[in-house]
Structure 1
Amino acid sequence: METFKRLAKFYLPDKKYFIWSLIALVFVTGITVIYPVFLQVAIDVGITGGQYEIIPYLAIGLIAIMTIKGIATYVNQYFGDLFGVRSVYRLRKDLYKKLQFLPFRYYDNAKTGDLMSRLTADVEAFRFFLSFGFAQLVNFVLLVGFAMIVMFYYSVPLTLVTMVTLPFLAVAVYKFDKRVHPGFRKVRRSLARLNTKVQENVSGMHTVKALSQETTEKNRFGDTNDDYRTKNIAISNVWSTYFPLMEFIGNISAVLLLGFGGYLAVQNQLTAGELTAFFSLVWFIIGPIMNLGFVINQFSQSKASGERLLEILDEEERHNGPEKSLPYAKLQGEVSFNNVSLRYQNKAKNALSNLTFAAPKGSTIGLVGATGSGKSSIIQLLMRFYEKTAGELLIDGKPIEDYDVKELRQNVGIVLQQTFLFSSSIRDNLAYGNPEASMEEIIAAAKRADAHEFIEQLPEGYDTILGERGLGLSGGQKQRIAIARAMIMNPSILILDDSTSAVDMQTEVKIQKAMREIMQGRTTFIIAHRISSVKHCDQIFVLDEGEITERGTHEELLQEKGIYRRIYDIQNQDQQYVLQQA
């Protein structure tokens, strides 16, 4: 029960609903045990005793208690379900909140399909046990307890003989739980892998079809699907082994009851009505014990799901800043790296090594280098997506750790190379970083990013609902929306991570012209592969294996005839070739 104890904070606030459900369950169980008593009276008094006039009264009484039981059953199920639904509402909200504040290193290894499975299937399995599993456990205890009280009242010897098999049944149930729980844990993990495979396939469908890998994907899914099937069959095998055994033990109790109970009836130590009632009461005990396998089934699934949910809840969140962070203010944008190093988790080499440079307020910094040279790592540190391994990173002369993360990022506008747009309106996407932005501000930013014209041509203009990840827009259109989104934030520091890579040369020139205007007074970092994107920068840093190998202005670096000059010559030759072909 350790898993349920640790998750208690999510369901204890709604314990009143569980208590009402429990009270109603007591009525339901008590009335259920009364049925055999009515049967005993009808046989011994009405039929055998010849008092036939009592039977209509018994029938009316039975109808009355059945009505009460129906009402109590409704109350039990309604409040039980309410208990589960409200509890997992709180749990799901906390899980989602947790995911928002987990550090990037967590998502380096996490899989989308697995997280989706935890927030849906695992949460639902936990809810089902809260709503029905707890009630079934309590019903088991109450039903067995009430039935045994009535049975002892009728015949102590017969009760003891009948219950002789119960220890064996309890052992079988215990062993069943020991085998079924690890199996369900494996099933849950296999289901998460299955969901991950489906999610990756759907997200990468364009790549799958472009490379004609439909058959390969089908086979890969088949392997994952086979694993899920195998895990479920293993669980079915455990169930198929233990359930007949539990049923067999229960039937032995019935045989003992008929044999010894028949003997007591012949000896006039038990009436026919009492024997009939006793037989019903025995199944009120054996039935729930056999059904305990189903309850354990639910419990094991719920416990396995709860363990997977706790794995998320136990993850260490990143701290937004020290207890006494600096008061929020508009940053000036002065950035200094002093011998800064960064090594990602589980990596053997540093991504950045002893990096030192200064970016004065309002300056424009260009970052150039091959893939993996460390350009994006500088941005990761500026945004505090990751924490530096060594050195000192200052903003406006103060350590970056002194700033609250949220307030820091409100001062930084970023346009990533891989543009992500939400499945909402263009207006909402543009105002995502500044929900208070007016329509005039949104349109002005769109015009600066050269996005207003194509937005106006869409069916609903700025109210057009985008498909998943901006489906329906070209890569260049999505990037222009991302640029406008960053502009609306009015940041002190602007980061452009190859932000014009998906636009044509003509559009790039128009965007750069507009952006030079908004860069005024802002510290801007431009990561680019095109020299044309960085040649106007105040400083250009050429990175190689996490170190700055060249630095200077465009003209200075051309004179050095190093890596920068080689990149420039190659791109210039390519451009001349394209112009000649045109």
Structure 2
Amino acid sequence: MSEENLFKYDRDMNSLKWVARLHLRYPFRTFYVLIGGMIEILIFLLPISITANVIEISIEGGGIANAKGQLWFLLGLAFVQAFLYFSVSFLNEVLAHRVTTDITQELFESLQYRSLTYHDSKDVGNIMARATGDTRTINIAISPAVRIIINVTIVWIVAFIITISIHYILALITVIVFIIFVITTFIYSTKILPLSVKARENFAEISEVISSSLTGVREIKSFVATPWSKKKLLKTAIKYQKNVIKEQTKSAWFYPIFVVTFYAALMIVLSIYFAYMGLFDVSIKDVILIAGFVSFLTGMSEEVQWTMWFLIRGKVSADRIYDIVSEKDPAAFEDGDTEFESNHATIEFKNVSFRYKDELPYALRNVSFRVEDLQTIAIVGPPGSGKSTITKLIQRLYLPTSGEILLSGRPISEYSNKSLRKNITTVEQDIFLFNLSVKDNIRYGKPEATDEEITNVAKIAEANDFILELPKKFENLIGEGGVRLSGGQAQRLSIARALLLNPSILLMDDGASALDARTEVKIQKAISEILRTRTTVITTHRLAIIAKADLVIIMEDGKIVGLGSHEQLIRKNPYYRRLFEKHYELPELEVV
């Protein structure tokens, strides 16, 4: 899948348009909330007019019979109000949760399909803060903040209609006060926006510190670094606190109720004066109508302050999430359309060079080799020599900076990612296990695997015995990252997980590093038949594994400095000889 198809987002689209597009996935709820909310607020205003009519009738000497119809109408209106209030509030809340769920899903999906180069440059804590804290802020901004702002706007519009129907002076005052209200709101928004951005960034920093501290809790305890960790968190939290206080202090200066209260008092005084002096045909009914109406407006405006604060924060949060969702992946590459279905596979590197970032040195330099069907290749070399990089390129987790990689004679770029990952499995040096049961971890790449298949691969990986000793056996939870298992046990589960997929190509990136010699011998003996039926690439320093490989590649500083069989290299390569000479009696070095 191409980047354009995957990330179907207009780079010029802003976050508000994106959120609006997500709303339109639920057209009925969206339009019901908008239209129903407008009708709801208008219906809430009707009793004020009816009450004014009833009071006027009473003042003019009319009996209850004259107002009976309007009173019955008020009673019926109350039921309509209750229904609209409940239905609009309920659907608005459902809509908010649906939209924020979609936001989280789109954020997650966009991250899942990004290149490893992209993820290498991102902080997990920062992304988690956006996926949790920012989505929660958007949820509140959608419900009820947006609804309140719409209602207040409608009330101001109705205020203008009522006042202009009474006299243009009152309407003019309404327009002037509304303009002042809008201007002060705009000024408040521009002042508070950068502070909200800073506060959200500080919150993300706190999330980063907590995430790294929990991930590295063993190291923190081992190095007695708890005071340092606490100090780092406290420093970050204080910075967040200071910015939030600045934000709240600035927010406190925005007090719309003052403007509205002034407007209400002015309108009531003027309407009473006009009625008392007999000016402009202002009646007692008009006075009551204006008094009731501006009181309603005053009550609603009390919520504008926190509403605006949440709307601004919601906009900032939407920007932060959309920045990731729409961000261009500099290392994105086209997915191929050819299915990789070979039972056996050849691997060929042709002058492959690679570096993880432009500013970093090359991890591989002009690497060329070929692995035939069913061969086992061992890659050896010091740390940082490029061994693990080769395995990552075979999986197409990265693309070569230059050169070409062929699988079964075809360029690796032609294959689809799904078919590649289905036929290539890896036992990583840095094992990651999920906080699931033993069974679910083994069948992670093959959810439909039967219990019999799981048990078989567990036996091959010499994991069955220790699994049966666990309290819940295959249903036992293993903790985040497999913290409840030893290194050797985790590695055996990782091997079982890889074998379950029955891959065409098996990559073992130092996959036996945490095994004791006895267990390693057992596993090697058990999977020796399996290795004969697939192409295998092993990065290791285990001499017994290296000596049995069909082909050995010696890496140093990203280059191949030795290539051949064990027998060839033991006679001709000084570096290779040094690996064995302390343990074996070697033949004489052949001078080339």
* TM-score of the superposed pair, with normalisation by structure 1: 0.91
Distance in 2 (CA, whole Å) between partners of 1:187 and 1:571 is: 61
**How far does the alpha carbon of each residue in 1:338-382 deviate from its partner, in whole angstroms, 9 at most, with x for none?**
100001124331110000111111111111112111111101110
Give the C-alpha shift of residue 146 in structure 1.
2.3
Distance in 2 (CA, whole Å) between partners of 1:162 and 1:136 is: 20
Judge conservation of contact 2:345–2:408 (CA < 8 Å) in 1.
yes
Give yes or no for the alignment of 1:491 onto 2:503: yes
What does residue 487 of structure 2 align with? 475
**How far does the alpha carbon of each residue in 1:368-420 deviate from its partner, in whole angstroms, 9 at most, with x for none?**
11211111110111001111011111111111111111101211121001111
Which shifted more, 351-360 or 189-198? 189-198
Aligned residue pair count = 569
Q: Secondary structure at the match of 1:348?
A: coil
**How far does the alpha carbon of each residue in 1:418-453 deviate from its partner, in whole angstroms, 9 at most, with x for none?**
111122222221122223333222222111111111
AA partner of residue 256 (structure 1): L
- In the TM superposition, 1:317-336 aligns within 5 A as 318-319=332-333, 321-322=335-336, 325-336=337-348
Match 2:360 to one of 348, 355, 380: 348
Distance in 2 (CA, whole Å) between partners of 1:458 and 1:117 is: 36
AA partner of residue 339 (structure 1): N
Give yes or no for the alignment of 1:437 onto 2:429: no
Distance in 2 (CA, whole Å) between partners of 1:461 and 1:247 is: 64
- Residues 9 and 375 from structure 1, CA distance in 2 versus in 1: closer, same or farther, beyond 3 angstroms? same
AA partner of residue 188 (structure 1): R
Give the C-alpha shift of residue 166 in structure 1.
2.6
Match 1:519 to one of 531, 542, 567: 531
Judge conservation of contact 1:320–1:404 (CA < 8 Å) in 2.
no
What does residue 454 of structure 1 align with? 466
**How far does the alpha carbon of each residue in 1:459-507 deviate from its partner, in whole angstroms, 9 at most, with x for none?**
2222223222223211101100110111111111111111111111111
Q: Secondary structure at the match of 1:341?
A: strand
- Residues 287 and 171 from structure 1, CA distance in 2 versus in 1: closer, same or farther, beyond 3 angstroms? farther
Distance in 2 (CA, whole Å) between partners of 1:238 and 1:509 is: 69
What does residue 9 of structure 2 align with? none
Give yes or no for the alignment of 1:175 onto 2:184: no
Give the C-alpha shift of residue 329 in structure 1.
1.9
Judge conservation of contact 1:423–1:465 (CA < 8 Å) in 2.
yes
- In the TM superposition, 1:88-107 aligns within 5 A as 88-107=100-119
Q: Secondary structure at the match of 1:7?
A: helix
Match 2:260 to one of 250, 253, 259: 250
Distance in 2 (CA, whole Å) between partners of 1:320 and 1:410 is: 18
Distance in 2 (CA, whole Å) between partners of 1:410 and 1:374 is: 24
Give the C-alpha shift of residue 209 in structure 1.
0.9
Give the C-alpha shift of residue 73 in structure 1.
0.2
What does residue 140 of structure 2 align with? 128
What does residue 215 of structure 2 align with? 203
- Residues 158 and 94 from structure 1, CA distance in 2 versus in 1: closer, same or farther, beyond 3 angstroms? closer
* TM-score of the superposed pair, with normalisation by structure 2: 0.90
**How far does the alpha carbon of each residue in 1:510-550 deviate from its partner, in whole angstroms, 9 at most, with x for none?**
11222322100311111113333322111221211100112
Distance in 2 (CA, whole Å) between partners of 1:496 and 1:288 is: 66
Give the C-alpha shift of residue 79 in structure 1.
1.6
Give yes or no for the alignment of 1:224 onto 2:236: yes
Gaps of 5+ in 1: 574-582
Distance in 1 (CA, whole Å) between partners of 2:61 and 2:309 is: 47
Q: Secondary structure at the match of 2:254?
A: helix
Q: Secondary structure at the match of 1:487?
A: helix
Match 2:430 to one of 409, 418, 421: 418
What does residue 158 of structure 1 align with? 170
Gaps of 5+ in 2: 1-12, 586-592
Q: Secondary structure at the match of 2:561?
A: strand
Judge conservation of contact 2:24–2:30 (CA < 8 Å) in 1.
no
Match 1:309 to one of 305, 308, 321: 321
Give the C-alpha shift of residue 288 in structure 1.
4.8
Give the C-alpha shift of residue 569 in structure 1.
4.4
Give the C-alpha shift of residue 284 in structure 1.
4.0
Judge conservation of contact 2:257–2:301 (CA < 8 Å) in 1.
no
Judge conservation of contact 1:43–1:273 (CA < 8 Å) in 2.
yes
Which shifted more, 196-205 or 428-437? 428-437
AA partner of residue 249 (structure 1): V
Judge conservation of contact 2:562–2:573 (CA < 8 Å) in 1.
no
AA partner of residue 230 (structure 2): K
Give yes or no for the alignment of 1:268 onto 2:278: yes
**How far does the alpha carbon of each residue in 1:305-347 deviate from its partner, in whole angstroms, 9 at most, with x for none?**
111221222134645623xx22442242211111000011243
Judge conservation of contact 1:530–1:571 (CA < 8 Å) in 2.
no
Give the C-alpha shift of residue 52 in structure 1.
5.6
Give yes or no for the alignment of 1:551 onto 2:563: yes
Which shifted more, 427-436 or 376-385? 427-436
Judge conservation of contact 2:353–2:403 (CA < 8 Å) in 1.
yes
Give the C-alpha shift of residue 12 in structure 1.
0.6
What does residue 250 of structure 2 align with? 238
What does residue 8 of structure 2 align with? none
What does residue 580 of structure 1 align with? none
- In the TM superposition, 1:18-33 aligns within 5 A as 18-33=30-45
